[in-house]
Structure 1
Amino acid sequence: MTSPTQSPAHPCAGCGAGVAFAPGTTALRCPYCGLEQPIAPPARQVREHSYEAFLAKPRVRTVAPHRFTCPGCSARTESDAISKTCQFCGTALVADTADDDQVAPEAVLPFVLDRGGARKALRSWVRTRWFAPNRLKKVTEAESMKSTYLPHWTFDAATVSDYVGQRGEHYWITTSYTDSNGRRRTRRERRTRWYPAGGRVARDFDDVLVAATTHVDGDDLGKLEPWPLKEAVPFQPGYVAGHHSLRYDTEPEAGLQQAKGVMRGVIEGDCRRDIGGDVQRVFSVDTSYSGVTFKLLLLPVWVGTYLFGGRSYQVLINGVGGEVQGDRPYSAVKIALAVLAALAVVAGVVWLYLANHA
């Protein structure tokens, strides 16, 4: 099944050009004359969807690309993106996801950082990369970036976990030993007594976030957190108009397994606190999940790539808070100078020690 183009708004009332969502506002703005059109307030709240009901529905594993017909120049194109701009005239294009074979986006966290704000965040990030070549500053400032909504899953669940482990309690004893001069000495040493432990803990999870795309580095994407998820709004085409939006390529089933991995770490912490004592051992945890719900959420990220020394590097910028993560080159000269400086400090400390103990 293919999706037709969905127009996010009428053309600009001032000049007839296509309009795009203006970061930091609730309006569509014409890039030529600056006229703004407000996006209608949502008529509903962001909803969570039953994961059990989702599994009961028939699935289509092969997903057809969206077909776009540009309202500006009538060009017809196909793309896996949910939203993009026409490559011929620049008109904002948004697919109608209502009849898509994939799960439709439920919510979107709109961009707050515009292009100027993203460049400012990137320049600040570059200045703190101490071991990067000086030429990197000029390269990154000259590169363009693309505002992109990246798909994520959020999961809610009620959990009950039975665990088995041990509680460790410290105690101290006095021991004797012979020092290097042959004299008998005593010292206090810590020991631990272990006691069996077991019990049950319960926790409700809300909005456990999992990336639903493999097109960007997962580690860097995860480091862009935290996100103000409570500020997400119900999906409307206007919020993604003029920006690129990716379809998901991580299915909900795989996303839930990743979310459970996040939950397991939190649950183990609950078990340790329940065990108490000075230290804990957790041997096994058996968790049951109930009331699992999920939704597809689009998060705003400025994605930039640049070439340096014949290699391509990618940077990601949180489109709300401005956090920057990504790759960068290293300067061999700066690293060598830092190593020499550290060696000089160590040599100075050794010299002072020997001089005071001569």
Structure 2
Amino acid sequence: MTQYPCSSCGANVEFAPGTTVLKCPYCGAETAIAAPERAVREHAFEPFVRLPRKPIATLAPHTFTCQGCGAITQSDKISDRCGFCSAPLVADVSSGDQVIPEAVLPFAVDRPALREALRQWASSRWFAPNSLKKVTEAESAHSSYLPHWTYDAGTVSHYTGQRGEHYWVTETYQENGETRTRQVRKTRWYPASGRVSRFFDDVLIVGTARVMPDHLHKLEPWPLLEAQPYRPEFLAGHETLRYEVEPETGMEHAKARMAPVIERDCRHDIGGDEQRVHSVSTSYHDVTFKLMLLPIWIMAYLHAGRTFNVVVNGRTGSVAGERPYSAVKIAFAVFLALLAVAAAIVAYQMNR
């Protein structure tokens, strides 16, 4: 376990979002985080999965001994705060059976920037109750690094399907006793097969199910190229969840995200006016992966006795989450719409 004492007052320092320093929350003294000595690396997937490894669910929790108050606590988080004195705690992950994070995307959004992002989000919600503005207060928000897997892979896909080509025919029909003609579009279908290839870079898969996966996807895209090689200093003062999704399972999720892109490639390769894809067989090569920690602000707020959850991208300020609707505002909008329709009808009748 690691803690970082302030060189001036001895209190524990924390990583300050948007900077490259650890800052003391009491005296304001700053300690620079050393520049990285290496680049972020990709790891070969096939050799890794052949290694003996315990499932993450069977690993013991980390034991934290706070150097400030002496409290001993256990947690499966990589970093947290002491439950007694709130001092930041960071676990040592260099030894053990879990995959070590390769990279971290440090927080860039601090609390003032968080409040501004929430204000813009709340003001853009149509038909939201006025109480939604309280979400901008953000007192309940806490910063958390969430585990994500990234996968790179070359793919070769063999497909079968059909290519549809449109043509037009003239049809005769009867209307009000008169014979008329019209052009009708039809399609001729031809068998098609072929091969497409593509390289996927940094297919991102959430490594935990604890935080609303559907909302997390809405925070994309992430500036992954700005990620730093993992350093525990970036975690000080922020919660960090341990991954629950094994890398093998993450790879299957990554394949599912690749599949629609590959199918679009197949359709483009088939050509014609329409396409039908009957089968796709994909092989993967040069697969690499890494574990990344991405920054999220997480908060919840109450409205009408119900809890709503919101997440904010800790790097870009993008917001996603649940919101209530105002029945009064919706009813008033419907009333105005009906009033406008009625006015239009009256105007039409008067003009006649």
Could you state the TM-score of these two structures normalised by the residue count of structure 1? 0.93
Can you list the C-alpha shifts for 1:188-225, whole angstroms capped at 9, x where unaligned?
22222211111000111110001011011111100000
Listed as ranges, the gaps of 5+ residues in structure 1 are none
8 Å Cα contact 1:201/1:270 also seen in 2:
yes
SS across alignment from 1:213: coil
Per-residue CA deviations over 1:115-152 (Å, capped at 9, x if unaligned) read 11111101111111121111221354264210110111
How does the TM-score come out when normalised to structure 2? 0.95
* Partner of residue 44 from structure 1, selected from 30, 34, 38: 38
Cα–Cα, structure 1 residues 326 and 174, in superposed 2: closer, same or farther, change >3 Å? same
Aligned partners of 2:150 and 2:290 also within 8 Å: yes
**Which digits, 9 at most, give the CA deviation of each residue in 1:206-262, with x for residues without a partner?**
100010110111111000000001111111001111101001111112211110001
Task: After TM superposition, list the pairs within 5 Å mapping 1:24-173 onto structure 2.
Answer: 24-61=18-55, 62-141=58-137, 143-173=139-169
Residues 170 and 278 in structure 1, CA contact (< 8 A), matched pair in contact too: yes
Q: Please say if residues 143 and 305 of structure 1, whose CA atoms lie closer than 8 Å, have aligned partners that are also in contact.
A: no
Separation in structure 1 between the aligned mates of residue 138 and residue 190 of structure 2, nearest angstrom: 62
Question: Identity of paired residues, percent?
Answer: 61
Please tell me whether residue 261 in structure 1 is matched to residue 251 in structure 2.
no
Relative distance call for 1:142 and 1:91 in structure 2 (3 A) is: closer
Aligned 8 A contact 2:122 2:135 in 1: no
The amino acid across from 2:110 in the alignment is D
Amino acid at match of 1:59: R
Aligned residue in 2 for 1:23: 17
Question: By how many angstroms is 1:44 displaced?
Answer: 1.4
Retained in 1: the 8 A contact 2:167–2:186? yes
Using the TM superposition, give the Cα deviation of residue 303 of structure 1 relative to its aligned residue in structure 2, in angstroms. 0.3
State how far apart, in whole Å, the 1-side matches of 2:110 and 2:138 are: 16
Length, aligned pairs only: 350
Matching of residue 291 in structure 1 with residue 296 in structure 2: no
Residue 253 of structure 1 aligns to a residue whose secondary structure is: helix
1:188 aligned counterpart, secondary structure: strand
For residues 284 and 138 of structure 2, what CA distance do their matches in structure 1 show? 49
1:252-302 C-alpha deviation (Å, 9 max, x unpaired): 122111100011011001111111111111110000011211111110000
Match of 2:205 in 1: 210
Aligned residues of 1:140 and 1:306 also touching (Cα < 8 A): no
Contact kept, 8 Å, 2:163 with 2:272, in 1: the verdict is: yes
Match status 1:178 vs 2:174: yes
What secondary structure does 1:117 align onto? helix
- Which has the larger displacement, 45-54 or 114-123? 45-54
How far apart, in 1, do the equivalents of 2:259 and 2:15 lie?
A: 39
Whether the 8 Å contact between 2:77 and 2:239 is mirrored in structure 1 is: yes
Gap change, CA 1:177 and 1:323, over 3 Å in 2: same
Aligned partners of 2:6 and 2:12 also within 8 Å: yes
Distance 1:221 1:142 in 2: 18
User: Structure 1: how far apart are the matches of 2:110 and 2:177?
Assistant: 73
Map residues 201-280 of structure 1 onto 2, 5 A cutoff: 201-280=196-275
Amino acid at match of 2:78: I
Q: Deviations over 1:132-185 (max 9, x none)?
A: 111221354264210110111101111100000111112222323333x43333
Aligned-partner Cα distance in 1 for 2:82–2:131: 34
